[in-house]
Amino acid sequence: MAKLVELLLTETVENLGIVGDVVSVRAGYARNYLLPHEYATTSSEEKIAALAEKRAVAERELANQRAMRESMVAKLEGFELTIERSCNDLGHLYGSVTQQDIAELLIEQGFAVRDRDVRLGQTIKRIDSYEIVVRPEQDLETTIKLWVVSDRPLDLGTDNEASSSDATSAENQEGESVAEETTADAETALTE
């Protein structure tokens, strides 16, 4: 069983706590990451009191960050995004659209999202529209619409059907003329 140690965070560590929190972590995590990077130290009342002001600043920053993310989620509601990709004639992409691609496009549009905020429910490998979940925090979520379009005009079967029907009608006409010739030859042979 892993041994837990109790440490005082001297810096905010994502998914663990903010500065001034006393946390219990595994000994290896403390020894290999938190202590060497000076993100944590041993806990004492004096150190907690010394970090009180730094903790108040961190709490204000978290509140501001939360407010910005809430407003971003409200703006993203019903947002549509278009991405252009190379594909074959059937609409299959030569590569897939990734979380990073979508996050970069959203950043270009002025939204402060991270790659991990974009949640893909499936691999995007076709020309189509997709519902994409953007979740900047555990309890903040919205859905945007992603349109994946081709970088060139596609012949999605319309010209192929026309050319195949032309070929079929040419074969039918050719077959009918051969049949007529065969019938004419047979009649000539009977009359002689």
Q: Is a pLDDT exceeding 90 seen at residue 28? A: yes
User: Per the structure block, which two tokens stand in for 74?
Assistant: 């409200």
pLDDT of residue 60: 93
pLDDT of residue 156: 61
Q: In the 8-state DSSP scheme, what is residue 116?
A: G
pLDDT of residue 50: 87
**For 121-170, what is each residue's pLDDT tens digit?**
888 999 999 999 999 988 889 999 999 999 888 776 554 444 444 444 44
Percent of the chain's residues with pLDDT above 90 = 51
pLDDT of residue 173: 52
User: Per the structure block, which two tokens stand in for 192?
Assistant: 């002689």
Judging by DSSP bridges, how do beta strands 40-42 and 80-85 pair with one another? unpaired
Q: How far is CA 123 from CA 17, 18, 119, 143, 188, in A?
A: 33, 35, 11, 17, 68
Query: For the chain, what are the domain ranges?
Result: 4-73, 74-150
- What's the chain's average pLDDT? 82
CATH superfamily to which 74-150 belongs: Ribosomal protein L9, C-terminal domain (3.10.430.100)
Looking at domain 4-73, does it have CATH number 3.40.5.10?
A: yes
pLDDT of residue 52: 87
